[in-house]
Homo-oligomer: A and B are copies of this chain.
C-alpha cells in the first residue's frame, strides 16, 4: 500500500485527506492557491507543488478537492492543468459537490485522455476526513474501483458504492443534501414554533431527540443555535447551493418536489437577511421572525 497521490485543493476536506494519507504511508503532492494550507501539509510530510500539473506529475491518482465545477475544470484542463501531466490509466477523484452533468462532462473529457474518473463526493466534515471515518459516495466503472480500492478504503472506512456511472455519486450526494436541508429547515421551524407557543426550546429539543421528530442535522445544528453559537462549520451558503443543485437536477428529470423548494427558499432568505457567513444553525434566527 502507498504510492504517490496528488491533491489539488487542501482546504478543510482536502487537507484532512492529505493528513490521512500521510499517516498511512502514502506519498502526497499538494497544491493550493492559499499558501498556508500547503505549508500545513508540508509539516506533515507532503511535498509542495506549485501548479496542478506539478501535483499530478508521477502520481497514480489525483484528488480534486476544490469547491465547485468551474474550479474543478480549471485545475484539470486549464493552464498548468493536472490532466495533461497524469500518466495514462491514472485515476482522478472528483470530490466536490457539483451538478451530475458537470461530473459527466469532466469524466468524458478525462476518458478522452485515457484517464479514469471516480465520482466520489464526501460527507462527514473535516475531522472525519482527517481520521478516515467520513463517507464516500463512489460511482465509477468496476475495474477502476477494484484498481483503486486501497486508496478509497484508506480515505474512508465508509465507502458506499452507489453506481458504475460517474454522476451517480453527485446524484446521491444531492439527494442526501436536499433531505438534510429539509430536515434542518424543518427543525428550525419546529423550534421557533415551540418558542412562539411559550415552550422551552431546549426541553422541546430533548423530547424531539427521543421521539419521532429526531434527525441528525436537527440536533447538531439546533443545539448550537440554542447556545447562540453561529460560528461557521457549515456556512449557510453550502446547503443553499446544494439544495439549488438538487432542485435543478429534479427539474431536469421532470420531478416536481414539494418540500425541497420551501427548504431552499429558507436558505435564500437567510442569505438575504445577511447570514451568509454564519453557520447554517442560523436558520433558527430566521424562523424566529416568521
Q: A259 is contacted by which of B161, B168, B259 (Cβ under 8 Å)?
A: B259
Which of A177, A206, A255, A263 neighbours the largest number of chain B CB atoms within 10 Å of its CB? A255
Residues of B within 8 A of A135 (CB): 207, 210-211
Report the bound CA distance from A215 to B214 in whole Å.
Answer: 6
A182 touches B259 (CB 8 A): yes
Among A130-186, those with CB < 8 Å from B are 135, 137, 158, 160-163, 165, 168, 171-172, 175-180, 182-183, 185-186
Which residue of the partner chain B has the closest CB to A122? B211
Q: Confirm or deny: A108 has a beta carbon within 8 angstroms of a beta carbon on chain B.
A: no
Q: A257 is contacted by which of B137, B161, B172, B189 (Cβ under 8 Å)?
A: B189
Q: Confirm or deny: A208 has a beta carbon within 8 angstroms of a beta carbon on chain B.
A: yes
Q: Confirm or deny: A203 has a beta carbon within 8 angstroms of a beta carbon on chain B.
A: yes
Q: Confirm or deny: A187 has a beta carbon within 8 angstroms of a beta carbon on chain B.
A: yes
Report the bound CA distance from A207 to B137 in whole Å.
Answer: 8
Q: A160 is contacted by which of B176, B191, B206, B250 (Cβ under 8 Å)?
A: B206
Q: Is the interface of A mostly helix, strand, loop or mixed?
A: helix
B259 touches A176 (CB 8 A): no
Report the bound CA distance from A213 to B255 in whole Å.
Answer: 19
A255 touches B207 (CB 8 A): no
Report the bound CA distance from A259 to B180 in whole Å.
Answer: 13
Which residue of the partner chain B has the closest CB to A208? B176
Q: Confirm or deny: A48 has a beta carbon within 8 angstroms of a beta carbon on chain B.
A: no
A123 touches B211 (CB 8 A): yes
Task: Show 17 residue pairs from A and B whose CB-CB distance is below 8 angstroms, ordered by the A residue.
Answer: A123-B212, A135-B207, A135-B210, A160-B210, A172-B204, A172-B207, A178-B189, A178-B213, A180-B211, A182-B186, A189-B260, A193-B255, A193-B257, A196-B250, A196-B254, A196-B255, A257-B290
Report the bound CA distance from A180 to B207 in whole Å.
Answer: 12
B172 touches A199 (CB 8 A): yes
Which residue of the partner chain B has the closest CB to A213? B179
Report the bound CA distance from A249 to B195 in whole Å.
Answer: 12
Which of A123, A198, A215 neighbours the largest number of chain B CB atoms within 10 Å of its CB? A215
Among A236-269, those with CB < 8 Å from B are 246, 249-250, 253-260, 262-263, 265-266
